[in-house]
Amino acid sequence: MFRKTLKKDPELFQNVSEGLRRLYRTKLFPLEDTYRFHDFHSPALEDADFDNKPMVLLVGQYSTGKTTFIRHLMEQDFPGMRIGPEPTTDSFIAVMHGEQDGVIPGNALVVDPKKPFRKLNAFGNAFLNRFMCAQLPNPVLESISIIDTPGILSGEKQRISRGYDFAAVLEWFAERVDRIILLFDAHKLDISDEFSEVIRALKNHEDKMRVVLNKADQISTQQLMRVYGALMWSLGKIINTPEVVRVYIGSFWAQPLLVPDNRKLFEAEEQDLFLDIQSLPRNAALRKLNDLIKRARLAKVHAYIISSLKKEMPSVFGKDSKKKELINNLGEIYQRIEKEHQISPGDFPNISKMQEILNGQDFSKFASLKPKLLEQVEDMLAHDIARLMALVRQEEAAMPSQSVHGGAFEGAMSGPFGHGYGEGASEGIDELEWVVGRDKPSYDEIFYTLGPINGKVSGAAAKKEMLKSKLPNTVLGKIWKLADVDRDGYLDDEEFALANHLIKVKLEGHELPAELPNHLVHQKAHRCVGMC
């Protein structure tokens, strides 16, 4: 009786991280462990994987500006930083917050239970000698951590062995980070074989992927259009998905623009990228939840594959020949499992990679199908995840929408150099004179042709004139609402001028404000509203 009651009661979680940790340990890990998931796909998750700050992984060929990009974000050098036209960054550097500047070498880093890197131990000394953590007190790093990577080689250089599986290390990071930024140099756009291999290794993480076309100030507008087109074509061939990856164009460093023609474009793109990065802390819990769901689906499929192979194996004679036969016919086993358990083909692991790992495995040690373990994971996906989702929304609502501060994020947010300051509806924000007054004489000429009565034109008369802008009714309706300051259903000459000013703002490609800013309200209207 007591056990039944326990099972029916929903699990109560203090927060999302604790809930994910507990679900993983009690429901998903037993399935992974039984079917040796960690030998095939990904090491077991640890507490630090659920508690760590959002991480941003930077990937690109050498001299595309990865390290400079980090320095630009933080507006500060970090320990171990090297910048140059040759392949300078030869290590993976985790740039994280710390009370003092310092470097933790890889071998010490993978034994620290508070850092989410312990499972990197599996890649051996060749990798660990090329891995470090740079710690420094920087406000940007209070909210996110950044992973700098060695420049991907091109041409002859890429034939030199690194001594560890570079693509596999990147894939390990890709599973755990919140954002993957691929950097390309607009000045020399070539995608080497190693870079293509890396992008393919990140294929299951397109939702985290963003592309930065850096150093775009070094070429003219016409050249930039060609380079952008070539980049999209090349990425389409490698990633091979119908969805287009988001590409940000700009020059991400604190130096004067060499070709300033596209300054406004670069500012808008930088603002969009910064907003994307600033949203990471708020969306971190949802990302971890999403990654756990993806992992659970793969673990389920993996359990079906391993148990099927176990079932097909003879108990005594002909084990080796049967093993080879099963590996060669893995595609047919996939199809059978897909039909039998109604599993999407996209949930199955890469067949060639699976065949390669299976060659070194002893099939006789595989576990047979254990329905109870699979039921636990099904229950987690069907019920526990839904409860955690509600908790995710609560945590998101409690967090500010832009929770990364300091460094370049401060300069882009406020003051006259903030994005869009003094443009569109913000034009004239710091001027003493009413900005609409500049063009009011020309608007007045139109106003008096509409036959105002008692100094005002009716909605019908104003509508005929406003429709000449060819803007949709939904937009014109919003403009009317903003311009009719005293809400009397008529427009006087100031309100009519304001309506025309807002039409001009919209026609120039700017957004309309949700509410009328103070600098657009005429002083007479201020007095009227106060009296009303």
Strand, helix or coil for residue 203: helix
**The pair of three-digit structure tokens given for residue 189, joined into one six-digit string:** 């756009």
The whole-number pLDDT of residue 300 equals 94
E strand intervals along 152-240: 179-185, 209-214
End-to-end CA distance of the chain: 70
pLDDT digit string (tens) for the chain, length 532 residues: 334 333 445 566 778 888 999 999 999 999 999 999 999 988 899 888 888 899 999 998 888 889 899 999 998 889 888 766 555 557 899 999 999 999 999 999 999 988 999 989 989 999 999 999 999 999 999 999 999 998 887 654 444 567 888 888 998 999 899 999 999 998 877 787 878 888 888 877 888 999 999 999 988 999 999 999 988 888 887 776 667 788 999 998 878 888 888 888 888 899 899 999 998 988 888 888 998 999 999 999 999 999 999 998 887 777 888 889 999 999 999 999 999 999 888 889 989 989 999 998 888 889 999 999 999 999 999 989 988 888 888 887 777 666 788 888 876 556 666 666 777 788 888 888 899 999 999 999 999 999 999 999 999 999 999 999 999 999 999 999 999 999 999 999 999 999 999 999 999 888 898 899 888 988 665 445 444 4
Instruction: Name, in order, each residue with C-beta under 8 angstroms of 282's C-beta and a sequence gap of 6 or more.
Output: 396, 399, 400, 401, 403
- Cα-based angle 285, 291, 292 (whole degrees, multiple of 5): 90
- Pair 251, 217: CB distance under 8 Å: yes
E strand intervals along 235-342: 247-249
Hey, what long-range contacts does 80-86 have (CB within 8 A, 24 or more apart)? 80/132, 80/134, 81/134, 86/62
| Residue 110: C-alpha distances to residues 124, 206, 286 (Å) | 11, 27, 26
456: which DSSP letter? E
Report the alpha-carbon distance of residue 5 to residue 479 in Å, rounded.
Answer: 60
The whole-number pLDDT of residue 258 equals 86
Residue that the structure tokens 């109604």 belong to? 342
Taking alpha carbons only, the member of 333, 331, 312 closest to residue 321 is 312
| Secondary structure (DSSP) of 8-67 | HSPPP-SSHHHHHHHHIIIIIHHHHHHTTHHHHT-PPP-HHHHHSPPEEEEEEBTTSSHH
Instruction: Map out the domains of the chain with their CATH numbers.
Output: 16-44+286-398 (1.10.268.20), 55-279 (3.40.50.300), 429-527 (1.10.238.10)
Strand partners of residue 212 = 183, 248
The whole-number pLDDT of residue 415 equals 61
Largest CA distance in the chain: 105
Compute φ and ψ for 401, nearest 5 degrees.
-70, -30
- Pair 380, 295: CB distance under 8 Å: no
367: which DSSP letter? P
- Pair 486, 525: CB distance under 8 Å: yes
Q: Is 286 exposed, middle or buried (0-12, 13-18, 19+ CB in 10 A)?
A: middle
Report the alpha-carbon distance of residue 82 to residue 84 in Å, rounded.
Answer: 7
Taking alpha carbons only, the member of 442, 471, 473, 446 closest to residue 457 is 446
Report the alpha-carbon distance of residue 32 to residue 299 in Å, rounded.
Answer: 6
Strand, helix or coil for residue 114: coil
Instruction: Name, in order, each residue with C-beta under 8 angstroms of 421's C-beta and a sequence gap of 6 or more.
Output: 415, 429
Q: What is the CA radius of gyration of the chain?
A: 30
- Cα-based angle 497, 503, 507 (whole degrees, multiple of 5): 145
Report the alpha-carbon distance of residue 512 to residue 472 in Å, rounded.
Answer: 13
The whole-number pLDDT of residue 132 equals 94
E strand intervals along 424-512: 456-458, 490-492
Instruction: Name, in order, each residue with C-beta under 8 angstroms of 76's C-beta and a sequence gap of 6 or more.
Output: 136, 138, 407
- Pair 247, 266: CB distance under 8 Å: no
CA 190 to chain CA mean position, Å: 24
